[in-house]
Chains A and B, each alone.
Chain A
Amino acid sequence: MNRSEYKWPYANESGMEEMVQSDVLVLGGGLSGCFAAIAAARKGLSVAIVEKGAIEKSGSAGTGFDHWESACTNPCSGVTAKEIAEAYVREQDWYSNGIAHYIECREGYDRLLDLESFGGKVRDTEDEFVGAEFRDENTKLMFAYDYKNKFTIRVWGSTFKPALYRELKKLGVKIYERTEATGLLVSSDSGGTVRGAGAMGMNVRTGKFYVFRAKSTVLAMSRPARVWLFDPDLTGLCEFRPMQSIGSGHAMGWRAGLEFTMMEKTVRAEFSAAGRSFPPYGAGNNHNTWYAATMVDARGVEIPYVDRDGRELKTVSERYYPAPGQKFFLKGGVIDNPKYEYRGPETLEFDELIKRGYQLPFYADLSRMPESERKVIWGMMIGEEAKTKIPIYQNYTDRGFDPSKHMLQSYGTGWQSANFLEQERQFFGAPGGVMHDWDLKTNVDGIYACGDQLYASDCAGFACATGYYAGRKASDYAKTVGLAEINSQDVQAEKERLYAPLYVRSEEGITWKELNSAISKAMQNYCGGVKCDSLLLEGLDLLKSFEKDIVPSLYAENPHDLMRTHEVMDILTVAQIVLHASLARKSSSQPLCFMRSDYPEIDPACDRKHIVLRQEDGKPVTREVPLDFFGDLEEEYEKRNQRYIREEAVHHE
């Protein structure tokens, strides 16, 4: 097809501007954004929500998720919110989001019941798994991982986004889909106090420009991506999370002076199906969604599971129970190689297996498991988790895969079937993000954050619980203030910034793909596995030159391209935050996966702290915050949420 055959199918509204006013503005329509909007609408406030895709299927859980972690208040739970939240904090050496984890542990199950009331499926209502060890016969709830303590719930998450979308419409939330938020609006009063005034954005199909004025704003966008990993051919497969989730919320937050922490933390990449891994959950393994699948080696010899003391487990059932003397164990999204205290059943270490003569490749062999366990892994978990229903379950079934007859290969030496280089980094395993207080408020009044925008975030339950909480606190604030003034010069400058690539001639222009490639190569070279001041400074220098010399040459031919171009401009900003954060930490750190050749000392006591970073007058400014700044989790939470506890929390006793 050539250019003349196909015309742009949507209206051309470049130059059109619409002003939208609401009490609360939510940026991002994933799980956390939807719940933020619902919380505010329930309080009777007017709410606008802005989403780059279509809410029905957008965000990391757009097509599903399979297990809801830390549902400590469900009626079958054998643990308390305090126990699990504190365990997460200790497990992550205090580089953990204690506040958000406690909110997840305390309110998460309430959100799950909300989802059920909106039409989502959270229990085995069709009695498909009657009699299974993981199913509670009274509540029909189904549990994963620790069957004794029952605080992780298996859910039919593919029903959740459509249910949330219906609920938003029912509550009268004003929905702006196919609209990218691009910049925050802040205003300062005569006393110099800065507060949020709303945001700006653009429709990614028509090019229409939006100004959203609001009394409070909730950032509910993604964590950053594509900073080190880029493939101009298979761009949609570069990262674990969706293609369009690239950290624009972080970039606009930085431009508006918001504080960040732990942005120096990155891990060696684990998921990039454009490169050295496979479709998530689509290769044989026994972690997360696949826990606790039976694994065999190339000869078909079963690989033993052991408890934390090395005791070999004889039955499949034993893989789901704590060790003798252990109260509970942790498994899930951010739990990789847990401390002894929280370590659950696991297959023998790879090195030990090779010593004992086990041979690669390994396979997941579900045929050796009880039928209910096989069916719940292949058919429910694989089917409900993230992008597994069509890409894995249906696709593999169509290719002839039958879990009672076939075993699925695992690649490489680990269970991730990934084989990345040290300099190929990724924001994974509770990465850095927005710094906040007990109200999930940022350092700027009237601006709140939730879900993946928070530092050390992890899963779906975390997103829903913090979303609702941030929406609630943003509403309380909105009730006390009027709309802040907006500065028309800020609006004009943003409009010019957004549209500029449309005016660059294609033959002279640079595409977003060329710039993204250059950024990721620069980050691999200057901010890879081992860092040092001189390399980091070199990297900053190069990225600044991109900003000055390359950004003005970026070229786009339509609003879709323009959206991709804005995304890469944001990636360029995020990359600089990472370099500044890395420069600010003058030692190495195990929990932050942060290695320095010039400061090799690992986690010296004097550096066990948050180095909080923001931009002021174009320069990075840091302050230090103790790792335990959140105080006693239960006490501090209850101090601030009596009304929720009285009026909204679900009480089972």
Chain B
Amino acid sequence: MSNQKKVDSKEAFNLEYTVSPVASSVNPIIYNQELCIGCNRCAQVCQCDILFPSKEKGRHPIVMYPGECYYCGACVMVCPNPGAITLKHPLMNRAKFVPVK
């Protein structure tokens, strides 16, 4: 049903991809390396694809594009080890609650 071929192009698609964490004013995803087993389930499901697997086995993923976080919590939902990932809202979005009157 499918066939693959390498395209010959004089443009030569031999570019090297580069990537480095993009700075943001926020840290939406915080890993606890004590609890993280480095399974990369979070990176697997993140629909914004902001989490990149660590090069080091067993280490937590890298939050490569923190500003692109949609704050859905899918990463926390699939994490096998509760507490390994914390989702933190930007300070300005922490709604206030008070004791009932």
Partners in one complex: yes
Which residues of A does B touch, CB under 8 Å? 1-3, 6-9, 12, 14-22, 46, 52-54, 56-59, 62-63, 158, 174, 178, 204-205, 207, 209, 232-237, 242-244, 273, 278-279, 282-284, 296, 299-300, 363, 365, 367-368, 386-387, 389-391, 394-396, 399, 401, 405-409, 411, 417, 495, 499, 502-503, 557-560, 563-564
Q: Which residues of A contact B77 (CB under 8 A)?
A: 57, 63, 158, 389-390
Query: Are A407 and B89 within 8 A (Cβ)?
Result: no
Closest B residue by C-beta to A506? B18
Q: With A12-B17, A401-B97 in contact, is A46–B78 under 8 Å at CB? A: no
How far is B25's CA from A237's CA once the two chains are assembled, in angstroms? 13
Q: Which residues of A contact B3 (CB under 8 A)?
A: 18-19
Interchain residue pairs A-B with the least CB separation, the first 9: A390-B73, A300-B101, A15-B13, A53-B47, A8-B17, A558-B17, A57-B74, A387-B72, A57-B45
Q: Which residues of A contact B90 (CB under 8 A)?
A: 234, 237, 273
Query: Are B76 and A273 within 8 A (Cβ)?
Result: no
Query: Are B1 and A279 within 8 A (Cβ)?
Result: no
How far is B62's CA from A386's CA once the two chains are assembled, in angstroms? 25
Query: Are B13 and A499 within 8 A (Cβ)?
Result: yes
Main secondary structure of the interface of B (DSSP, over half): loop
How far is B96's CA from A283's CA once the two chains are assembled, in angstroms? 8
Query: Are B67 and A395 within 8 A (Cβ)?
Result: no
Q: Which residues of A contact B9 (CB under 8 A)?
A: 15
Q: Which residues of B contact A558 (CB under 8 A)?
A: 17-19
Q: With A18-B3, A178-B49, A244-B47 in contact, is A6–B72 under 8 Å at CB? A: no
B1-60 CB contacts (< 8 Å) to partner A: 1-7, 9, 11, 13-21, 24-26, 28, 44-50, 52-53, 55
How far is B72's CA from A59's CA once the two chains are assembled, in angstroms? 11
Given B68, B73, B94, B98, which contacts A406 in the complex, CB threshold below 8 Å? Answer: B98
Closest B residue by C-beta to A557? B18
Q: Which residues of B contact A14 (CB under 8 A)?
A: 13, 15
Query: Are A236 and B48 within 8 A (Cβ)?
Result: yes
A to B contact number (C-beta, < 8 Å): 209
Query: Are A9 and B4 within 8 A (Cβ)?
Result: no
Size bracket, chain B contacts? 35 or more
Q: Which residues of A contact B25 (CB under 8 A)?
A: 233-234
Q: Which residues of A contact B89 (CB under 8 A)?
A: 279, 282, 391, 395
For this complex, 15 residue pairs linking A to B, each with C-beta atoms less than 8 Å apart, are A3-B18, A9-B52, A16-B7, A56-B45, A58-B47, A63-B74, A237-B70, A237-B93, A242-B48, A242-B72, A243-B68, A244-B48, A365-B100, A395-B87, A564-B68
Closest B residue by C-beta to A407? B100
Most chain A Cβ neighbours within 10 Å, of B2, B73, B96: B73
Q: Which residues of B contact A174 (CB under 8 A)?
A: 1
Closest B residue by C-beta to A59? B47
How far is B100's CA from A264's CA once the two chains are assembled, in angstroms? 45
How far is B6's CA from A73's CA once the two chains are assembled, in angstroms? 53
| Additional pairs, 7, CB under 8 Å, beyond known A20-B2, A242-B48 | A15-B9, A16-B7, A57-B78, A242-B47, A242-B72, A405-B99, A411-B95
Q: Which residues of A contact B26 (CB under 8 A)?
A: 233-234
Given A3, A18, A235, A387, which contacts B20 in the complex, CB threshold below 8 Å? Answer: A3
Q: Which residues of B contact A3 (CB under 8 A)?
A: 18, 20
How far is B49's CA from A368's CA once the two chains are assembled, in angstroms? 42
Q: Which residues of A contact B13 (CB under 8 A)?
A: 14-15, 499
Instruction: Flag B70-90 by CB within 8 Å of A: 1 or 0 each.
Output: 111110111000000001011
Query: Are B87 and A409 within 8 A (Cβ)?
Result: no
Q: Which residues of B contact A283 (CB under 8 A)?
A: 95
How far is B28's CA from A395's CA once the two chains are assembled, in angstroms? 12
Given B1, B48, B73, which contacts A53 in the complex, CB threshold below 8 Å? Answer: B48
Query: Are A299 and B71 within 8 A (Cβ)?
Result: no
How far is B47's CA from A157's CA once the two chains are assembled, in angstroms? 17
Closest A residue by C-beta to B21? A1
Nearest Cβ on chain A to B20's Cβ, whole angstroms:
5
Q: With A236-B68, A391-B89, A409-B98 in contact, is A15–B6 under 8 Å at CB? A: yes
Query: Are A235 and B19 within 8 A (Cβ)?
Result: no
Most chain B Cβ neighbours within 10 Å, of A234, A235, A396: A234
Q: Which residues of B contact A52 (CB under 8 A)?
A: 47
